Amino acid sequence: MVDGEAQGNIGRFDPVTETFPAVANTATNEDRWYPSTLIMGNGKAITFGGTGVGGVSPNLLSAEVYDPDTDSVTLLNSGGNVLQYQDVANAYPRLFLTSVQNANPNIFRVFHCGVAADSWFYDINTDTNTSTVINGPTDPQTPGPGGGEPAGRLQAIYVRLHDGRIMAAGGDRIDETAVNSNTVSIVDPQAASPQYSAAANMNFGRSYFLATLLIDGTVLVYGSGTSTELYDPVANSWTNTANMSLNRAYHTSGVLMPDGKIIVSGGEGNGGSGEFGETDQIQIYSPDYLSAGPQPSISTAPTTASYGDAITVNYSSSNPITEVVLRRPGSATHSFTYNMIGVPVSFTDNGPSLTVNIPTNRNLVPPGYYMLFILSDNSGTKVPSTASWINIGGGVVPDTDPPTPNPATFASAPSATSDTAISMTATTGTDASTPIEYSFVETSGNPGGTSSGWQQSAVYTDSV
C-alpha cells in the first residue's frame, strides 16, 4: 500500500538477504487492500477478497492464484465472483485449506469464515462456491441455530486445531455496537454436514485480539485487555494465565518461537504512547509446559524432507516421547494468523532415535518451512523440545552458516618455497554444504603479490 492506496504488486521475501524484492513483471489483476492469502498444497498461493482503491468500496469478490514457478497470476472463476457478500466480510477473510483427506494437491476446498454469518467452501476443482455451513443471526451475543455460529464476528479469532476442527471465539457486531463476546463455536469442515457447535465460553469477552496455537494443541488468546487465557480443546475448558503489562488490541502480532515461547508485539490499546495508543513494546509469554519437567532434546534431524519420507530424528529424553508435531509459523494481523498449521504426525520410537513419518498429503502439510517438535510425557503434561527447522516439499534449505573453523585459519605458517614464491595451506573446513571453497587474499600491497580468488583447494602458492 502506498499513500493509502491499494496496490497490485507482489513481492517475495528472501530470508537469506532479508530483502523483499518485487517479482519482475508481475502484478495482481486487481489492486487489493486487506486481502487474505493461503498457501495451497501445490505450492501456489491463493488470494481472496480485500477492498479496492483507498480501502473503500468496492469490496472485492474475486480471488486469484499466484504461481511462484512462472511468476504469473490467474483469476479464479474467470474473474467472476468467488466471495458471496460485498461487505466488510471481504476484508481479511479467514481462510483454511480443507479436504485434507484428498492427497491430490490440485483438488481441495478452501473454507471461508469470518465476519459474515455464513461460512462456505470454495471448490478449487470445480471453481465454484459450495455448501453454506450455517446462517446465524446478526448478534454475536446470540447463538445461531442449534447453538451454532453467532453472526457478525468482527475481529474475532479463528484457529484450526490439531484435529482439523476450526474454533471461532469472541468478536463484535459489524457495527461494533455489541459488548465484546465471550462465546466460542467449533466446526469440523471435514464432516459430511458441517455445523457449528457451541463450546465453553471464554472467561472474558474479547474483540480485536489474537490467538496462537501452542505446541501441545492448546490455544492461547490475548489482547482486548491485559488478561490472557488458555483453551484446552480436549477438556473443552478455559484457564486464566499470566496478565500482560498493557492492553493490546488492533494490529497486535504474536508468533510461536522454536523454543516454545510466544513473542507478542505491537498493537493499539490503552497502554501505548502513540497517537492511537499503539506500542512498540515486546513481551514474551512462557507456557507452563516449559517448566513442567525436563525437556526432551533433538540432537540431529534432517533439514529437508519429501512427502512420504520416513526421517530419523535423534534425541535424548528423561521421559517417553508421546507426540511429534509439525508446526508452520504463520503470520498474524487483525485477529488472525494466516497459514498457522499444527499437525501431529506418526512416529516409531527406536530408543535414541525416532522414525518420523512425513505425511503424504500436501493439502494437510502444504510445502514450506515447519518447526519439528518432539513432546514427552511428564506425569500427564506434554513437555516439548526446542524445535528443529525442516523444509517439507520445498527444495533445498539455504545454508547460511559459515564453515568451521570460523574465521578461517592456516594449518601451518606460510613459508617461502623460493625467492619468488610463498606457499600457504588453510585448515580444512567442514560444513553441511559442499564443496567448501577457500580464498587467499594478498594484503601487503607489495608488487607481484596476487590473491587466489575462490578455489576448492586448501593450498595456494603465490609467485611472482
197-252 pLDDT per residue, tens: 889 999 998 888 889 999 999 999 998 888 999 999 999 999 999 998 888 877 88
**pLDDT for the residue numbered 439:** 92
pLDDT at 26 over 50: no
Which is more confident, 154 or 73?
73
- Residue 390, amino acid: I
Residue 115: name the closest of 61, 152, 159, 85 by CA: 152
The grid coordinates of residue 449 equal 603479490
Q: Which amino acid is at 375?
A: L
Confidence band, pLDDT 50/70/90 cuts, at residue 336: confident
The string of pLDDT tens digits covering residues 281-323 is 889 999 999 999 999 999 999 999 999 999 999 999 999 999 9
Give the per-residue pLDDT at 39.
85
pLDDT band at 42 (very low <50, low <70, confident <90, very high): confident
Q: At CB < 8 A and 24+ separation, what contacts does 171-174 make?
A: 171/140, 171/206, 171/207, 172/140, 172/207, 173/138, 173/139, 173/140, 174/87, 174/88, 174/115
Q: Residue 137: pLDDT band by 50, 70, 90 thresholds?
A: very low
Spatial CA neighbour of 395 closest among 307, 329, 304, 302: 304
| Residue 144 vs residue 266, higher pLDDT | 266
**The cell 469472541 sits on which residue?**
170
Rounded Cα–Cα distance for residues 208 and 227 (Å): 13
- Can you give the pTM of this predicted structure? 0.77
CA distance 229 to 154: 20
Mean pLDDT of 73-102: 66
Q: How confident is the model at residue 173 (pLDDT cuts 50, 70, 90)?
A: low
What's the mean per-residue pLDDT of the chain?
Answer: 79
pLDDT level of residue 387 (50, 70, 90 thresholds): very high
- CA dist 287 and 241 (Å) reads 9
- Residue pair 339/316 in contact (Cβ under 8 Å)? The answer is no
Highest averaged pLDDT of the listed ranges 98-112, 293-307, 430-444: 293-307
Single-letter code of the amino acid located at 407: P
Average pLDDT of 79-106?
A: 63
Q: Helix, strand, coil shares of the chain as percentages rounded to 5?
A: 5, 40, 55
Take residue 242 and report the three cell numbers written for it. 499470566
Relative to beta strand 304-305, strand 388-392 is: parallel
CA 173/CA 153 separation, integer angstroms? 6
The CATH class of 297-392 is mainly beta
